[in-house]
Amino acid sequence: MEERGQWSNKVEFVLSVAGEIIGLGNVWRFPYLCYKNGGGAFLIPYLIFLFTCGIPVFLLETALGQYTSQGGVTAWRKICPIFEGVGYASQVIESYLNIYYIVILCWALFYLFSSFTAVLPWASCSNPWNSGTASWEAEFPFLLLDLCVDFLNSSSLDNRTVPANATSPVVEFWEKRVLGLTDGIHKLGTVRWELALCLLLAWIICYFCIWKGVKSTGKVVYFTATFPYVMLVVLLVRGVTLPGAAEGILFYLKPDITRLADPQVWMDAGTQIFFSYAICQGCLPALGSYNKYTNNCYRDCIMLCFLNSATSFVAGFAIFSVLGFMAQERGVSIAEVAESGPGLAFIAYPTAVTMMPVSQLWSCLFFLMLIFLGLDSQFVCVESTVTAIIDMFPEVFRKKGRRELLILVIAVICYLLGLLLVTEGGMYIFQLFDYYAASGTCLLFLAIFEVISVGWVYGADRFYDNIEDMIGFRPWPLVKICWLVFTPGMCIAIFLFSLIKYTPLKYNNVYVYPPWGYVVGWLMALSSMVCVPLYAVFILLKTKGPLKQVLRSWATGKLLVYSVPELA
């Protein structure tokens, strides 16, 4: 049986975790939430959740993996068997992420390949996929993007108005050329073969990034985790030198303290922390499990958390400087061009680059940044799934060639399931995955049980002793207080608020899903959450003996005493 691997050095671990947690959400979600929820004032609830929930749970999961040297399922089995369902639940969420997150990469690859043209294909209405091109161009020439800017900035509108059904060439490229979007989820249509090929390419790259375990992953992240920063700096410098950039940045940061009275602002801050820190997804225990026993995971976690939040904050300058430029060029308010999620990446930013000189260059740089931001998040996520499975069945998979075969099987299955998301109606399925399967509600639910199992059942002091045994000192006392009081309390509050304020998903805030669509969405959400109570009941029914004795034995765990391994 092959030995379990370890990181060659601390840098590989740090870059792997950074690659996982610093992803697309830092670029397209945090800046939008910041502007939407009071600008600079949003940093107040964000930092509160960072110190009371983000850092404590981040440390908990990483230290758990390092102490047990186990993946996202068996680590919980070691310390608190009755809550092993938390591990299974995180793997369910991770499986959903493996299927749908990589689809974003295939869209970005499509845009990247489309950028190698003399004229960007989304820069005009003169393409075969554009609606009513011939007649509209004659009557409404301002529908052409290159004329649209000049027309909107002109002093006279020539008494012409934009027709109600008019749309921009950028939107048409996205919906008609890329997605081939149908009327609804009931019409999936055919597979978009170009997207299917891009998806295949993304999976091939992902496979070879992790096929040799931490030996290959640790080397790949030297490039994939650092290159996005180079691109971000380049785009930031370009953005702040554009006319209108200052207005965009001011719009991003201008504080509105009154927004703090809105509970939705606090909910957005809390869920953003859980999204961006990869908490409750099984990734952190898996990555931490490849550390040396004496690695200072406490210092690493603090550093990585601040790096993640700082990246999100700086990305806002790069994004809103460009949005400020676009708003000025079009003569509209910044609120009209500000987008979040795919709308920012595939509509707002592509619109902005068409207004810049050498637009193809800036388009390529932007989509390269997106690809590398998403790539390491994707392959580290798959690596975490593989780690969990191998640690559950070491006698089966720790044999020569078995790991590579397991990754291949996972990649093929996820690719085939992912083909549903690159059909003409696949965007509707993608939104279900994003809104329900990997929602903040699911992550909050798991976080509650994570901190209860470690803080109250296994024992916060006991876990502090374990951490001290590894790093030589006890972490800041506030972390333990958070595990016992603040983290579960705040997670429960946000979880309940998210249920009370639940609003059904609407695509583009317009399309209403059929009832069975919402049923599918909630089934995906519940499929992870039910793992926790179901596994606890299963364990109790499986074990014989008085109930009190059974609860004590399965709750406190039978943790092995780990000896400090020889340092290489």
CA dihedral 14, 15, 21, 22 (to 10 degrees): 130
429 touches 421 (CB < 8 A): yes
Cα-based torsion angle of the residue sequence 419, 422, 427, 430 in order, rounded to the nearest 10 degrees: 40
| Residue 521 structure tokens | 């969405």
Helix 263-276 vs helix 487-500: angle between axes, to the nearest 10 degrees?
120
Say which residue the tokens 């020569």 belong to.
400
Task: Determine if residue 276 is labeled as part of a ligand binding site.
Answer: yes
Instruction: State how far the alpha carbon of 139 is from the alpha carbons of 134, 166, 179, in Å.
Output: 9, 12, 28
Answer yes or no: are the C-beta atoms of 325 and 351 closer than 8 Å.
no
The Cα–Cα gap between 473 and 422 comes to: 50
Judged by DSSP in three states, 306 sits in: helix
The reply, when asked if residue 26 is annotated as ligand binding, is: yes
CA–CA distance, 513 with 432 (Å, rounded to integer): 10
DSSP state of 345: I
Grouping H, G, I as helix, E, B as strand and the rest as coil, residue 565 is: coil
Helices 84-114 and 193-210: angle between axes, nearest 10 degrees: 120
19 annotated to bind ligand: yes
Sorted by sequence, the CB contacts under 8 Å of residue 514 that are 6+ apart come out as 184, 185, 186
Q: Which residue has the tokens 């922390």?
A: 273
* Residue 328 phi, psi dihedral angles, 5° rounding: -65, -40
Structure tokens at 415: 């690719």
Burial class (CB in 10 A: 0-12, 13-18, 19+), 340: middle
399: left (phi over 0), alpha (psi -120 to 50) or beta: beta
> Residue ranges for the binding site?
19, 26, 276, 308, 373, 376-377
> Residue ranges for the binding site for Na(+)?
19, 26, 276, 308, 373, 376-377
